Chain A
Amino acid sequence: GESVGLHLPTLSVQEGDNSIINCAYSNSASDYFIWYKQESGKGPQFIIDIRSNMDKRQGQRVTVLLNKTVKHLSLQIAATQPGDSAVYFCAETRGSGAGSYQLTFGKGTKLSVIP
């Protein structure tokens, strides 16, 4: 079965509010967790990653939180803008033993920003 999954398939947020997108994972052996954003007609775009031994990492307007106790990952977007409307995927990586890291993606959450 899939080791990375999402709690909600859709999320609607008012422009200017903060958005929180959640993700659950089951594999404790994951090395990194990553968030990707996919806009319509485009490929996924890297947002931010967090190593499995960290709890929090901040980027520009985004924060990723990792709770290893409950195997939960979240992406917080501050002051959500219309351009943030997209599908957001969490992904996890683990080494294959051949020096390769395979990305395993969750199903995705569609974020809609209401102007």
Chain B
Amino acid sequence: KAGVTQTPRYLIKTRGQQVTLSCSPISGHRSVSWYQQTPGQGLQFLFEYFSETQRNKGNFPGRFSGRQFSNSRSEMNVSTLELGDSALYLCASSLDVGNTEAFFGQGTRLTVV
């Protein structure tokens, strides 16, 4: 079966702009989590969605938001982009909330210039 699909793979944006990233989880998976990966901070949890509800949120400013649709697909949005938002954004899907076996997509590489 198809894995986790993230689009786009690469993105270049200008400071101050906003961006929307998309994630399609594995079919049948209902939980979607988002992570930011940078060389300095490593992998950091952004938020988790299940049944269209945000279940958990990491320590990121309100400029970072997300949502989940009824088909479990998820989007995350970053507004008023800053240079420090340049990172690999990873989406992970799991069968259910609390399932430790999360399957990650290849990520979206965001560069803010």
Binding site for B on A (CB under 8 A): 32, 34, 36, 41-46, 49, 89, 91, 93, 95-96, 98-108
B4 touching A98, Cβ below 8 Å: no
Binding site for A on B (CB under 8 A): 4, 33, 35, 42-45, 48, 50, 55-56, 58, 90, 92, 97-107
Known: A41-B106, A43-B90, A43-B104. A101 touches B45 (CB 8 A): no
Instruction: Give the docked Cα–Cα distance between A75 and B111 (Å).
Output: 33
Known: A89-B43, A100-B50, A102-B45. A46 touches B102 (CB 8 A): yes
The residues of A that contact B48 with a CB separation of less than 8 Å are: 100, 102
Instruction: Give the docked Cα–Cα distance between A23 and B54 (Å).
Output: 30
The residues of B that contact A96 with a CB separation of less than 8 Å are: 55-56
B97 touching A100, Cβ below 8 Å: yes
Instruction: Give the docked Cα–Cα distance between A30 and B99 (Å).
Output: 14
Known: A103-B45, A105-B42, A105-B43. A42 touches B55 (CB 8 A): no
The residues of B that contact A93 with a CB separation of less than 8 Å are: 98, 100
Q: Chain A at the B interface: mostly helix, strand, loop or mixed?
A: strand
Extra contacts, 8 of them, besides A43-B90, A99-B97 (Cβ < 8 A), are A41-B106, A42-B106, A43-B107, A44-B43, A93-B100, A96-B55, A102-B56, A103-B102
Instruction: Give the docked Cα–Cα distance between A96 and B98 (Å).
Output: 10
The residues of B that contact A46 with a CB separation of less than 8 Å are: 100-103
